[in-house]
Amino acid sequence: MALCDLRPAELDSTVAELRQGGGSASGHPLDVTDRAAFVDVVEEIEQRLGGIDLLVNNAGVGYTGVALHETPDADIDWVIDVNLRGVLNGIKAVVPSMVARRHGHVLNVSSMSGLAVPEGIQHGLYGATKAAVVFLSEGLRQDVAPFGVGVSVLCPGYVRSNLPVGIAFDKPSLAKTIMDETPALVVQNKGRVCEIWCKAFALPLHWRKRTFGVCYKTAA
């Protein structure tokens, strides 16, 4: 497994944890918004490990609490660059080799907020980038399916990670609920998680079917 991260300390820590658990992992510092750097890292990985079988475009940043018309230009560029262009950069760097080998799978991480924007947290900019990832994945799947390459898009709700803390930065009680209670909710309800989220967002029935298990898969 080859891991990439902008933060060297967190990258080293994760690689060490995987190795301690008996896994094989290497770490590669990377800013996903840098297309040339992404290509260089992929070349390094493929030289060391061979062709990439699974690309997980997981890098993302949360953004909330600011009205769209008041959002600073620099913040707009930052969120779009990481959440959308970062995914495109990964696709451009990795997928051509998959197509050439007629083998591989791409997993793009979106969000339930990419299907509908929750009320009250000013999530429009983040949701827009994640919605784009959903439709980008649909298009990619059509492009690469004839070459035996699969595409999935994951639309998770709140999970125990550092991202929800940033999303709820001005709502400490919400942050605590997300961090403490969401994992138990997922375990206890399993298949009902999708129904719970769809009801909360007032999504139509066909979206409930598409997001079953909080994972919308575009291809096998």
Task: Tell me the mean pLDDT in the region 67-93.
Answer: 94
Name the 3-class secondary structure at 145. Answer: helix
Q: What pLDDT is attached to residue 123?
A: 81
Q: What pLDDT is attached to residue 10?
A: 87
Give pTM, 2 decimals.
0.76
Task: Tell me the mean pLDDT in the region 169-177.
Answer: 50
Report CA 185 to chain centroid distance, whole Å. Answer: 21
Residue 1 pLDDT greater than 80, yes or no: yes
3-state helix, strand, coil in the chain (%, to 5): 60, 10, 30
In the set 63, 126, 158, 216, the catalytic residue is 126
Q: What pLDDT is attached to residue 214?
A: 38
Residue of 166 and 138 predicted with greater confidence = 138
Structural domains present in the chain: 31-158 (3.40.50.720)
Is 126 noted as a catalytic residue in this protein?
A: yes
Task: Tell me the mean pLDDT in the region 198-217.
Answer: 42
